[in-house]
Amino acid sequence: MNILVIDDEKLIVKGLTNSLEQQNYKVYPAYNGAEALATLEKEKIDFIILDLMLPDIDGMILCKKIRENHNTPILMLTAKDGDYDKILGFEFGADDYMTKPFNTLELIARIKAITRRLESQKENIILSLGDLVINKDERKVYIENKEIELTQKEFDMLYLLANSPGRVFTREEMFNQIWEEEPFDVRTIDVHIKNLREKIGDKEQKYILTKWGVGYYFNKN
């Protein structure tokens, strides 16, 4: 994993570099915001350690600027310990926050924890399930290479189930995730499932299966 360390204190960069390289990480040092942005354009960076006190740009502004073009995880370092600064850091796009002086072993543990969490959250952009293909980016569904027209909610429902085959979603869960609010009538889910099955030709329930009394799940076979 390639880690970009952005800090104008060379002793800190040197110490972090030695510790991270012992963990088999490749470290790219940057001592100001301009160097950091140049490195991000040239190299594939997997993780960023960002000090807020930089000579040429405020670290918060740099974090916001990085977030305009990159989703790379960012761990902020700062000498400030106020809640306001932490909240502001998260609002500007940081994934975690540590105050100086910090324990290097804890920092490495946080890098690993953030990386594990983000890896587990990754979604498949294109799902290919037999004759059924779902393209999340284009929000298109194909059966035997023929595009199927779905409503926004039908697509979201199909993708939710298909991205976790075998997992049973309750009607309440599905409503909460798709409508992003507390369920007011879970029978809405049954209506959408019925319409979805008709559109993808799933009358025999080859794809979407029912767990009676619970909810629905996608056939993992």
Q: Is 17 left (phi over 0), alpha (psi -120 to 50) or beta?
A: alpha
Residues 27, 43 contacting (CB under 8 angstroms): no
Evaluate if residue 81 carries a pLDDT over 70.
no
Evaluate if residue 183 carries a pLDDT over 80.
no
**Residue ranges matching CATH 3.40.50.2300 in the chain:** 2-121
pLDDT digits (tens, 9 = 90+) for 2-26: 999 999 999 999 999 999 999 999 9
Q: Which run of H or of E encompasses 173?
A: helix 171-179
* Mean confidence (pLDDT) of the chain: 90
Evaluate if residue 168 carries a pLDDT over 90.
yes
Q: Which CATH architecture has domain 126-218?
A: Orthogonal Bundle (1.10)
- pTM greater than 0.85 (yes/no): no
- Per CATH, the number for 2-121 is 3.40.50.2300
What pLDDT score does 140 carry?
93
Q: Which tops the pLDDT comparison, 127 or 13?
A: 13
Alpha carbons 108 and 9: distance in angstroms, whole number: 19
Residues 213, 170 contacting (CB under 8 angstroms): no
Mean pLDDT, to the nearest integer, of 167-194? Answer: 87
**Residue ranges matching CATH 1.10.10.10 in the chain:** 126-218
Evaluate if residue 181 carries a pLDDT over 80.
no
